[in-house]
A and B are shown apart, each in its own frame.
Chain A
Amino acid sequence: MVQTTAIEPVSLDPSRRRRLADFWYYFSENRGAVIGLWVFVILVALALLAPLIAPHAPNAQYRDAVLLPPVWLDGGNAGYLLGTDAVGRDMLSRLLYGARFSLFIGVVVTTLALVGGIVVGVFAGYVGGWVDTVIMRVMDIILAFPSLLLALVLVAVLGPGLTNAMIAIALVLQPHFVRLTRAAVMAEKSREYVIAARVAGAGPMRLMFRTILPNCMAPLIVQATLSFSNAILDAAALGFLGMGAQPPTPEWGTMLAEAREFILRAWWVVTFPGLAILITVLAINLMGDGLRDALDPKLKRS
């Protein structure tokens, strides 16, 4: 809710600060959301600092230390806190570098889906008529497929790899943003402040993106957090199926795929990457619940 347009900073600033305070009040009421926020901040810090704090290079193979268990088990080695995988790579270092991939995937996919969805959705809602009908039918078509299946097939067309996986997931997540933006724009566009802006001579571009859009942001922000966690889950799933990031990339889903054959011999190579995915997604979803409570007055305090 901070993206309000600052046409007249003097008159808008107090209300903006007030809304920010309001927002923080409702957000911090939700204990889970605050915990989620902290976990997320820590994850971002770990990802950014990975090159500094990782004890080993993520792809360095120590042939004398293959499938070592974590340090607290018999046979563990203090040099490899969370053990090593089947070719002697340090699990902890790979997980730390993996955080970079997952957060990067989340940011890129959400940005692509959000920006694309907003542009298409504002356009559909503002222009209306047959343009709107055609756009919404196309979105219905995309939504008719299970998202993971469509992403899988798109990656089969584009070729396996992290970039293509991100494009595919962004494409699959985008219709949700289009629908939300369109609905919000349609509700807003006949309001008086929009008509006033039009009478004052604002062009369609300004009306669409500067006048109307900032007032439609609340549901979009909530949807963006949901997409963020979905993107991480779907990218990991594609990686797990061998269609996302390719080995030896330390992406968590890809690591799980490589670890599958050792599940009955070395539980740690399977457990830790998945736990990392779960913690990340859980933290983001907790934040999303808090954001929804704080931003959406309809659902407030339910």
Chain B
Amino acid sequence: MLRFLLRRLAVLIPTFIGVSIIAFSFIRMLPGDPVALLSGERVMSPERHAEISHQLGFDRPIVIQYLDYLWGVLRGDFGTSISTKGSVLEQFLQLFPATLELSICAIIVAIVLGIPAGIFAAIKRGSFFDQSVMGAALVGYSMPIFWWGLLLIILFSGILQWTPVSGRISLMFFFPQVTGFMLIDSLLSGQEGAFKSAVSHLILPTIVLATIPLAVIARQTRSAMLEVLGEDYVRTARAKGLSPFRVVGVHALRNAMIPVITTIGLQVGVLMAGAILTETIFSWPGIGKWMVDSVFRRDYPVIQGGLLIIAGIIMLVNLVVDLLYGLINPRIRH
């Protein structure tokens, strides 16, 4: 297992270095003067330009500049925002819980609905239920989620007036941020109605963000289950006279779950991309909206830092999934 971990790291580290080179060169690829872009000062005297250029280290060789940047990143220095003058990492940590809360809710919905739907579709293969689930999964998989979100707003916020349109909680409530998760913080605050308000704000974004992972997980579970149900050991288990529930629930499911776990791990990237659109539609104050806003504000240090942090998180999650995969399926380690 240790060798497996080391081998994965041997691939991961060069990839991370490559990702950091992309983030580093991003600012330098922009049309225009990087010094002006990074400092946010449009008009400056040559002396001021030289001063900032020196401050930012632009007068040194490019390799030194990169190593300096990498060293900063390793110590948690991802640069300074032009618009707020705050540290990029601090801003990220401030906003990340909102995205994390939304993503966790979405992936839970996708798993809780997707896996049983996939299993039953596989057991009742060719039935009306199977066809409906697979049809719905294909629609979900093809869904432009930014439009799906707008439709849900029209229906539930516009016509039915059940849910609010945007934000994480009603402005009526104010309480200190403890965990950053609105669901937990609102409960801790003890204010009446706060939790309910947080939940009602969370429902539509969760549905929107869960749509594609749900479709992918349902499809993957069904096909993994179908493959396993055709195996000899399942037939043996049936022949032994085990109950259908035990055959499917224990013998088949454990093996069918292996590819499904990989699929769930791969959804992290899908969730991040989805968060960009979902948070924009629902004005959800997370990192997806932060990135889009920064692109519009031309806050390049934020884009640079955000890009690197998000890619880093995805790589870490993929590593954990790989390790889990190696743990439950020893064959993969070799």
What is A's interface to B at a CB cutoff of 8 Å? Answer: 32, 137-138, 140-141, 144-150, 152-153, 155-157, 159, 229, 233, 236-237, 240-243, 253, 256, 260, 263-264, 267, 270-271, 273-275, 277-278, 281-282, 285-286, 289, 302
Task: Please give, as numbers and ranges, the residues of chain B lying within 8 Å of A256 by CB-CB distance.
Answer: 146-147, 150
Q: Does B310 have its Cβ within 8 Å of any Cβ on chain A? A: yes
A277-B138 contact, Cβ under 8 Å, with A148-B276, A152-B291, A153-B26:
no
The residue of chain A having its C-beta at the shortest distance from the C-beta of B315 within the complex is A144
Contact of A229 among B139, B142, B146, B311 (CB under 8 A): B142
Determine the residue in chain B with the shortest Cβ distance to A136: B11
CA distance A185 to B164 in the complex (A): 53
**Interchain CB contact under 8 A, A242 and B291:** no
The answer on a CB contact under 8 Å between A285 and B296 is no
For chain B, which range describes its interface: under 10, 10 to 19, 20 to 34, or 35 or more residues? 35 or more
Within 8 A of A (CB), among B137-155: 138-139, 141-144, 146-148, 150-151, 153-154
C-alpha gap A146/B20 in the complex (Å)? 15
Closest CB of chain B to A243's CB: distance in Å?
Answer: 7
B277 in contact with A240 (CB, 8 Å): yes
Point out the residue from B142, B154, B276, B298 that lies within 8 Å of A285, measured CB to CB. Answer: B142
Partner of A153, one of B157, B158, B277, B303: B303
The CA of A141 and the CA of B26, in the complex, are separated in Å by 14
Query: Whole-angstrom distance between the alpha carbons of A260 and B150 in the complex?
Result: 8
**Are A146 and B270 closer than 8 Å at their CB atoms?**
yes
Any A CB within 8 A of the CB of B18: yes
Min CB gap A83→B, angstroms: 15
Q: Give chain A residues whose Cβ lies under 8 Å from the Cβ of B276.
A: 146, 148-149, 152, 241
Assembled-state Cα–Cα distance A71/B226 (Å): 48
Most chain A CB neighbours (cut-off 10 Å) among B22, B29, B144: B144
Cβ distance B185 to chain A, nearest Cβ, rounded Å: 27
Contact present for B272 and A243 (CB under 8 Å): no
Assess A233 versus B144: contact at CB under 8 Å? Given A147-B273, A148-B277, A256-B150: yes
